[in-house]
Amino acid sequence: MVRHSSRIELSQSALKNNLTFIRKKIGDHAVISSVVKANAYGHGIEEFVPMAERCGIRHFAVASGFEAGEVLEACTTDADIMIMGILYPEDLPWVIENEIEYFVYDYHRLERSLNVARKVGKKARVHLELETGGNRTGMEEDKLPEAIEFLLNHRDNIELVGLCTHFAGIESLANQFRIQQQQKLFARMNQKVEEADLGPYRRHTACSAAALAFPDTVMDMVRVGTAQYGMWPSPDIYNLHLLQENKMSDAPLKRVLSWKTDIMHIKEVPEGEYIGYGTAYKASKDMKVAVIPLGYSNGYARSLSNRHHVLVRGKKAPIVGSVNMNVFMVDVTHIPNIKVRDEVVLVGRQMNKVISIKSFTETADAINNEFVSRLPSAIPRVKVK
């Protein structure tokens, strides 16, 4: 098989560690819904879903009907799948036929669900998403009575599986005044649904940040994305964890993803010569430069030019010049015995050195989720111990 220019490794033991830590945080009652939107945050739906199932996960959340199809193909168990975002009307028959759960955030989607459920001969499995102040998607409080009446009148065709909302930036302590208002409104709307006696349903408001730091947000289910992959949602959430644990430092989350490639070519560059396009870097001495066979088309941001480094033979090799579409160069003058096809670590550990996703994204001025979710799906992913 023809090789790709880089490769991603996914650690099963790191994932197990992270889910164990999350379970300890949230307690035994709440269902963990593994959020695998954006190709499992760049980790790869096809590879990651079976790994999560091996850790006991039986509920997955995605952002679209298309992603739901990818998860359905990847599943090795009878796990439930929940669509939180776009679902085209023409895809509803397939969704209901496959008993996939989905968010309803307006009355029209309820009406469409009823019509399709009757034709398919199966119940539509819906989560009512409530508007509590995020002003993104969600059903407003004044529309809720009509929706409740509709659900009561059509129990045979539509099942209320869940009631949920999405916090508007709970990972930031500066947003807490908004979050508290959202919590109060959700509680009030939930009471109206409870009083209607629509049967059992799962309440869920907590994302990774909420689940890790705010126990009062943990209800019947939590939607965990960032944390399961080994990333803290924000410095605020990490600091709150330290405060709760009365610790000065802690590393309970382990990075699941490592990204590697190999040296493509080695060049001797005389003092005074420029390296790569333009005049971004001028050699201040005679240098040895290694050419790395990937660039911004592979998810390695151009903003890392002259600012970041990789690991080669356990040593830091700084980027010199601009990151191109398919290659970039690093200074290996200080690394002895360097040769073509030496392993290059972009994210991960090599000997006693580590490049974290956090350090990578700070240099590129991007959040953790943005960086990993942009990793192209064409990069091969493989599970490791």
Backbone angles phi, psi at 374, to 5 degrees: -90, -5
What pLDDT does 362 receive?
Answer: 73
Percent above pLDDT 90 for the chain: 96
The active-site residue, picked from 25, 37, 41, 281, is 37
Q: Assess whether 37 carries a catalytic annotation.
A: yes
CATH number attached to the domain at 257-384: 2.40.37.10
DSSP class of residue 246 equals T
pLDDT bin (cut points 50, 70, 90) of residue 1 is confident
**367: pLDDT confidence band, cut at 50, 70 and 90?**
confident
Which tokens belong to 126? 């819906």
Sequence-distant (6+) residues with CB within 8 A of 146 are 107
Q: Residue 361: is its pLDDT beyond 90? A: no
What pLDDT shows up at residue 271?
98
Task: Please report which confidence band the pLDDT of residue 172 belongs to, taking 50, 70 and 90 as the band edges.
Answer: very high
What pLDDT sits at residue 327?
98
Q: Is residue 360 pLDDT above 80, yes or no?
A: no
Quick check: 83 and 127 in contact, CB under 8 A?
Answer: no
Q: List Cβ<8 Å contacts ≥24 apart for 245-252.
A: 252/17, 252/21
Q: Which one of 247, 267, 277, 282 is the catalytic residue?
A: 277
Confidence (pLDDT) at 26: 97
Q: What is the pTM of this model?
A: 0.95
The lowest-confidence range among 106-115, 197-206, 249-258, 359-368 is 359-368
| Structure token pair of residue 266 | 């080695």
What value does the mean pLDDT take over residues 305-330?
Answer: 97
Topology of 12-245 in CATH? TIM Barrel (3.20.20)
How high is the mean pLDDT of the chain? 96
pLDDT at res. 168: 94
Res 365 pLDDT > 90: no
Mean pLDDT of 58-71: 98
Q: Please, are residues 59 and 33 in contact by the beta-carbon 8 Å criterion?
A: yes
Q: Name the residue type at position 22.
A: I
Residue type, 279: T
How far, in Å, CA of 266 to CA of 290, rounded? 4
**Residue 329's pLDDT band (cuts 50, 70, 90):** very high
pLDDT of 111 reads: 96
Among all chains, which residue has been given the structure tokens 């709440």?
30
**Residue 277 known to be catalytic:** yes
Domain boundaries, the chain: 12-245, 257-384
CB count within 10 Å of CB 221 equals 24
How confident is the model at residue 249, as a pLDDT?
A: 93
Report whether pLDDT(359) > 90: no
Q: How far is residue 265's CA from residue 109's CA, in Å, rounded to a whole number?
A: 56
Token pair 């989350």 in the structure block, residue: 253
Tens digit of each residue's pLDDT (9 = 90 or more) over 148-159: 999 999 999 999
Residue showing tokens 């009878």: 78
- Over the stretch 241-295, which tens digit does the pLDDT of each residue have? 999 999 999 999 999 999 999 999 999 999 999 999 999 999 999 999 999 999 9
Residues 127, 146, 159, 97, CA torsion sign: negative
Ranking 90-104, 196-210, 289-303, 362-376 by mean pLDDT, the lowest is 362-376
Q: With a cut of 80, say whether residue 181 has pLDDT above it.
A: yes
Secondary structure (3-state) at 317: strand
Q: In what order do the strands lie in the sheet with 221-224?
A: 202-204, 158-164, 124-129, 101-104, 80-86, 59-64, 31-35, 221-224
Structure tokens at 125: 């499995």
